[in-house]
Amino acid sequence: MSEGDPGPGDAGGGGGSFWTSLPTILSAAALLIGAVTTAIVQLRGNGGDDRQASGATGTTQTTSTPGLSQFVAMTRPGGRNYFEGDTMYVKASVPARPVLVLAEGDQPLQDVRMRAHTEWVSGAKDYGIGFVCRYANANSYYLLSVLSGGRYHIVRYRQGKPVSLTGGIQTNGLIEDGANDIDVKCIGSNPTLLTLLVDGKEIETVRDEDGIAEGSVGVRVGTSESVVTCSFRDFTLSSL
């Protein structure tokens, strides 16, 4: 695969790695956008019924948001995101330049859980789909990703430098190509615990002893080959 297999202190392979390159960031308020605190966010298209509910599972408190999506359709050089019904599509149109779509809001988040059904739709077969948490700026955030070929990766970006927290891109026989239910958790700051689950199975939990404290959330799609489009539906975001 063209993105290579990085070592423990490096998040990517050789030059041109789409997963560690500078991303195109789609955000309605430049680069710094928070997400709604103590909320479950439903990915939708335009419109929809407004609904409110609350509940608790263990120590997790959640409150549903009104119907409008926290992701705004945008087009920038390098990619775009758009909606059809209850599905959001993210298209990365420049090789080795992943598209990062940030959720809107007015406050940074700390402990969060994100879930969605994700699918490869068209384009390159060498691709990655990821979730971003603790996004402080383009140089500081966490990325938990599933890649084609049954692979996965968890990366910390700090001062613009990617550091693999999984000892490089890993392979797991539990991850299917094409469509997955991806579930990630970002908890704590000293240390930060980052958990990746795929199709209901825990793939890995890593510890970052000097963690990033808080930030925005989002999704990320990329390829090193040509163009790729992936979709997200049944998206939920909750604070823990």
70: pLDDT confidence band, cut at 50, 70 and 90?
A: confident
Positive or negative torsion for Cα 230, 95, 197, 103: negative
102's CB contacts (< 8 A; 6+ apart) are: 25, 26, 27, 31, 33, 132, 135, 216, 217, 218
In DSSP terms, 119 is beta-bridged to 179, 231
> Chain-centre distance of CA 95, in angstroms?
18
Q: Which residue has the higher pLDDT, 78 or 33?
A: 78
Rg (CA), the chain: 16
Q: Are 100 and 26 in contact (CB under 8 A)?
A: yes
In tens, the pLDDT along 180-206 reads 999 999 999 999 999 999 999 999 999
Distance CA 142, CA 139 (A): 10
Amino acid type, 56: A
In tens, the pLDDT along 84-137 reads 988 999 999 999 999 999 998 778 999 999 999 999 999 999 999 999 999 999
39's CB contacts (< 8 A; 6+ apart) are: 62, 63, 64, 65, 237, 238, 239
Tell me the average pLDDT of the chain.
79
- Helix H or strand E encompassing 185: strand 179-187
Distance CA 218, CA 122 (A): 21
